[in-house]
Amino acid sequence: MRRSGKYTRAKINKIDFLAIPILFVTMIIFILLGRLYASVVVEDLTKSEHVMLGAFVQLLAYTATILCYWFIKRKSFVARFNANFNYIVRDWKFIAQVFVITYLLSYIYNYGVQYLPGDLGFSETQNELSLQVIFSNPVFLPITFILIVIVGPFIEELFFRHLLIGELGKKFNFKIMGIISVIAFSFMHVTDAASPLEFGSYCIIAIGIVYAYLKSGRKLGVSVSLHMLNNLLAFIITILM
């Protein structure tokens, strides 16, 4: 942007970073409420019930954060939504191509690492195995769907794409922050990894999403759509298996 003969950087929307403390506070509140429920209302919870309660608490915190973020950005919400929606409708083929290519590369990678020796090989990541519990109870599936396919992707894209790339990229370069976004996103999903190669499974997905996000002009709706599609497919496959 040129102003008075000098180039100036776009300003970072600092208010958007309120999403971080909001999520932190809502997580604490709902965790405390969850513990209160577990200790007062229900005397003994099984391990699987504890996991499902934790997932429900996470869903509530994510939903509260999304609502708070919408309230903060309500004045520009309609314009941003229309811009994102119009892009998705117009360039849906591009989004579909990125999704298919990313999925195929991820499938080939995950298929190949199964045959590696020792602790390097794995058929499912530890993150995927940890999610199996919330798929085990059919009654809990609607909550699992909302968490994994809808609110989870939005929160992760808000933090790893919009804030890291869309906002901090204004100061530190979008491509550099894109690389950091890929690394941070991947590491978040492999904190309990049994194999270092689990990083690659999420790195491939993250690269596809970041590429589409940057290519679209940093439209959050594009990265959210791709993330939702990826998780929806994973959800369906898990149910069928």
Indicate whether 1 pLDDT > 60.
no
pLDDT at residue number 51: 86
pLDDT at residue number 194: 82
Q: Which tens digits make up the pLDDT trace of 67-85?
A: 999 999 999 999 999 999 9
Q: Which tokens is 17 given?
A: 């970073």
Q: What is the mean pLDDT of residues 33-55?
A: 82
**Burial of 160: CB neighbours in 10 Å, binned 0-12, 13-18, 19+:** buried
Q: What is the mean pLDDT of residues 220-238?
A: 96
Helix (H, G, I), strand (E, B) or coil at 3: strand
Percent of the chain with pLDDT over 70: 95
- How far apart (Å, rounded) are the C-alpha atoms in residues 173 and 155? 22
Indicate whether 4 pLDDT > 70.
no
Indicate whether 138 pLDDT > 70.
yes
H-helix segments, 91-118: 92-113
Percent of the chain with pLDDT over 90: 72
pLDDT at residue number 150: 97
Indicate whether 2 pLDDT > 60.
no
Q: Which tens digits make up the pLDDT trace of 47-67?
A: 788 889 999 999 999 999 999
The pLDDT confidence band at residue 7, using thresholds 50, 70 and 90, is very low
pLDDT at residue number 118: 80
Distances (CA, A) of 224 to 44, 99, 116, 133, 159: 38, 12, 33, 25, 11
Indicate whether 134 pLDDT > 50.
yes
Q: Which tokens is 19 given?
A: 């999403």
Q: Which tens digits make up the pLDDT trace of 207-226?
A: 999 999 999 999 999 999 99
Q: Give yes or no for a contact between 106 and 100, defined as CB atoms under 8 angstroms apart.
A: no
DSSP state of 123: S
The pLDDT confidence band at residue 6, using thresholds 50, 70 and 90, is very low
Q: What is the mean pLDDT of residues 122-132?
A: 83
The pLDDT confidence band at residue 40, using thresholds 50, 70 and 90, is confident
